[in-house]
Amino acid sequence: MSSTSRIADGIRAELAAAGLDPDDVESLIARAVDEDLDGGVDVTTVATVPAGQRAVLDLVARRAGVIAGVPVAAAVFSYVAGDAASITVVAKDGAAVKPGDVVLSVEGRTHDLLQAERPALNLLGHLSGIATLTGAWVEAIAGTSAAIRDTRKTTPGFRRLEKYAVRCGGGINHRMSLSDAALVKDNHVVAAGGVAAAFDAVRREFPGIDVEVEVDSLDQLDEVLDAGADLVLLDNFTPEQMREAVRRTAGRARLEASGGLSIDVAAEVAATGVDYLAVGALTHSAPVLDIGADLRQES
């Protein structure tokens, strides 16, 4: 274990392999654990559980879904229990689980297991809920050439974790931050004096960056295609308008459908030939996947 980290090196390596910053994850876990204790102790556990008792805690899926955040949950137990815990990963991120499937099993001091239980479940259930919802959208458009893409509508401080969960569910990520790529939206158009003017301004200032432009009409689409946009966001287009947009674009730019999308119409939208469906609900409205914790005595 690193001398500057309370999380085991092997788990830190798993986080890094998943595209997550181990230090950022540890900082988040530290805040979650501190929030739970609030400067005190777990009074219920201290009163009811002998200090030296050891047990096994299984994190178990209560509903079917797609798992995401197992290394994060493992990091919570490692942070709290250190070398006193033995952590066994049963289900890998991105795996489908059914009710009763064990996701993670931890053997250690009962006090540590119960202290880490809720922060681990909060993170694992939230991220798995995002992966599960993403997987449902991906399944809904199966057989088309379109992809499901997330947005920046993420929980503050959780963006990298939530976008990681989208990837676990089979979706792809839009820009991670405002500096990754340009997205010219309606307010930028107003401020710049027109959609083409806004695009040109970004291209001059940041010539090497991808520029996506939001349009709300086919006429605006023609403007930004002529200007050389890399990606065009079709805001609240009907499927018929999307098909016409695909015809007019003829491969000159990628097209992203956005606004008012629901999973019920996902297949119809994807079949128009657009490249992406932008779904903010993946991160701002995903229900938590029900995962429980079952304590058992060491065998």
- Classified as helix, coil or strand, 108 is strand
Largest alpha-carbon pair distance within the chain? 73
Residue positions annotated with a catalytic role: 118, 153, 185, 214, 235
Tally Cβ neighbours within 10 Å of residue 179: 9
Q: How many residues does the chain have?
A: 299
* Distance, CA of 207 to CA of 87 (rounded, Å): 48
Calculate the CA dihedral of residues 121, 127, 130, 136 and round it to 10 degrees: -80
Identify whether the C-beta of residue 218 lies closer than 8 Å to the C-beta of residue 242. Answer: no
Q: Radius of gyration (Cα) for the chain, nearest Å?
A: 23
Distance from first CA to last CA of the chain, Å, rounded?
Answer: 27
* Distance, CA of 135 to CA of 133 (rounded, Å): 5
**Helix 70-81 × helix 9-17 angle, to 10°:** 160
